[in-house]
Amino acid sequence: MDRLPLELISYVLTFLSAKCVKSLRLACKSFAEIGESHLFKGFEFRLYPQQSRLAQLRDLSLHPTIAPRLRCLCYESEIQPEFAHYEYWKSFILPKVLPSDDKSQEDYHQSQKVLAAQFTGDLKKQYEEYRLWLDYQAGIMAHSPEVPSTFASMLSKCHAMTSIKIVMSRSEISLNDLAKYALVDHRYIGTDNVRPIDRPDRRRRNCLAHFMSLLKAVYSSGRIISELIAIDLPKVILSEILSTTMSAADIMHGLFFPLQQLDLKISEFRRSDWMGYFRGRYDVAMTLRKLLDEANGLQRLSLSFPGHEEEFTSELLERTNLDRFPRRWLPGLKRLSLSNFLATWPDLKHLLEDAMSLKSLTLREAKLHDGSMIDLLMTLRGLKLEDVCIDGRWVVDEDGDEWHSHDENGFSGCEIYNGPYDFRCLRHEIESYIIKGGEFPLPKMLEHSCGDRIWYVLGDTSWHWLPPDYRQTL
């Protein structure tokens, strides 16, 4: 093996799993070096609001060969459930649903016995202590003045890092987490002076502080970020950016300016109060419009909005205030994805026609006013797109009710069709028409004496129209 060309060894490693590559690296220094280039090529480091995890990132940044390979830093800030007491958590660990067949029931009872044996007398105390420890660690990572400076120092040594990902996840404590916590030396031994009623607010503020400390560190380090991904980003962080300090606004503007790819899935804190119009959706929309205008070189944009508050997307997409927010990011955009949005047809048409460089478009789960689905499809044909996807449930008021578009994974949940999915289907014909042209696959409503019913007759599992009186017949 030591006489084989290094290029051949590198090629062989492409067929091995990460576990096998780790074992191979132990053979010799040459294999260790080659294996390192495969294991850590453009890798992503996941950071949690815990001091031990921050210490691991610090050690990684000091490594002379691994640190330059870091491409993406992901910060996952967890929000603990507000009322996750011990019995509530235990009910999720020990499911009560019995399988149907006898063999599965036997395995189920055996697994239940193994799980029940782990619920010892002191587990409840350990669980409550672990929750306090998570809050304690989150508080340190949120308010320690050393965290942003440590971040900036580490990021300056990761020369290949061009992507930042921030995720608001829900804390899910497992039995393995408690077992690991029982073995560590940094167990929580302090006292919690916070009233239970104030803990949810403190957890939310810590989550916002985690995200802002990372963004501030990236800005301070001078690292140029071309890709920003935010999953379940609390919309509060957008509504408060311009209402807090000027430095926070400068940080966001500085980060957005060099972006080439932006993926935002906007969400909210669970069980949070509804945000009013002036301090809620309007502030989010105006802040996001202003931040997008900073990204003049944006090429890929994906926006997903909270499903039950689609209305505030109308402020983002409407054509008013174009003198203040001229949408400078739009002409150079090549890929656009919008999900869970509401728009009027004139506003959506104006947006699409201004995206003169657009090559790929995804529109999913929308409410469309003052226009028809026929108007949308015929307009998309004129954009000369190379890739298009119209997906999900569309409520179109001019057409009377809903349009459904499903791929092979989503059609099974539809309330109309239950048959096998047809891959050479109406959805395929519509997408082919938009990209290649030809005969329009859907007739206009006024061309037939039967009116809009022709849409229902021509529908299939992939694309269909739901008549207004259909639910009354179910």
- Each residue's pLDDT tens digit, 26-47: 888 888 888 888 888 878 999 9
The confidence score (pLDDT) of residue 411 equals 64
- Which has the higher per-residue pLDDT, 452 or 15? 15
- Each residue's pLDDT tens digit, 256-297: 889 999 999 988 776 554 444 335 567 777 788 888 888 888
Q: What is the DSSP letter of 396?
A: E
Neighbours of 168 (CB within 10 A): 25
Q: Beta partners for 261?
A: 227, 300
Residue 348 confidence class, pLDDT cut points 50, 70, 90: very high
The C-alpha atoms of residue 267 and residue 307 are separated, in whole angstroms, by 9
The confidence score (pLDDT) of residue 427 equals 87
Q: What is the DSSP letter of 442?
A: S
Helices and strands of the chain, counted as H and E runs: 18, 11
The confidence score (pLDDT) of residue 473 equals 43
- Each residue's pLDDT tens digit, 182-221: 777 555 555 667 777 778 888 888 888 888 888 888 888 8
The confidence score (pLDDT) of residue 446 equals 41
Of 102-106, 286-290, 419-423, the range with the highest mean pLDDT is: 286-290
Residue 178 confidence class, pLDDT cut points 50, 70, 90: confident
The four Cα atoms 291, 292, 296, 302 give a dihedral, to 10 degrees, of 140
Arithmetic mean of pLDDT, 377-406: 89
pTM across the whole model = 0.83
- Which has the higher per-residue pLDDT, 272 or 306? 306
pLDDT at residue 388 greater than cutoff 90: yes
In sequence order, the 6+-apart residues with CB closer than 8 A to the CB of 336 are 300, 301, 302, 355, 358, 360, 361, 362
List domains and CATH numbers for the chain.
1-39 (1.20.1280), 388-474 (no CATH)
pLDDT at residue 472 greater than cutoff 80: no
Arithmetic mean of pLDDT, 131-147: 87
The confidence score (pLDDT) of residue 189 equals 57
For the chain, how many residues are written?
Answer: 474
% residues pLDDT > 70 (the chain): 80
pLDDT at residue 448 greater than cutoff 50: no
Contact 101, 236 (CB under 8 A): no
Q: Compute the half-sphere exposure of residue 290: CA atoms within 13 Å on the CB side of its CA.
A: 16
The confidence score (pLDDT) of residue 358 equals 95
pLDDT at residue 101 greater than cutoff 80: no
- Which has the higher per-residue pLDDT, 380 or 288? 380
The C-alpha atoms of residue 264 and residue 305 are separated, in whole angstroms, by 8
Here the tokens at position 300 are: 């890929």
The C-alpha atoms of residue 341 and residue 281 are separated, in whole angstroms, by 13
In sequence order, the 6+-apart residues with CB closer than 8 A to the CB of 327 are 289, 292, 293, 351, 354
Average per-residue pLDDT in the chain? 80
Residue 302 confidence class, pLDDT cut points 50, 70, 90: very high
Q: What is the DSSP letter of 99?
A: P
The C-alpha atoms of residue 421 and residue 409 are separated, in whole angstroms, by 9
pLDDT at residue 135 greater than cutoff 80: yes
The C-alpha atoms of residue 80 and residue 84 are separated, in whole angstroms, by 8
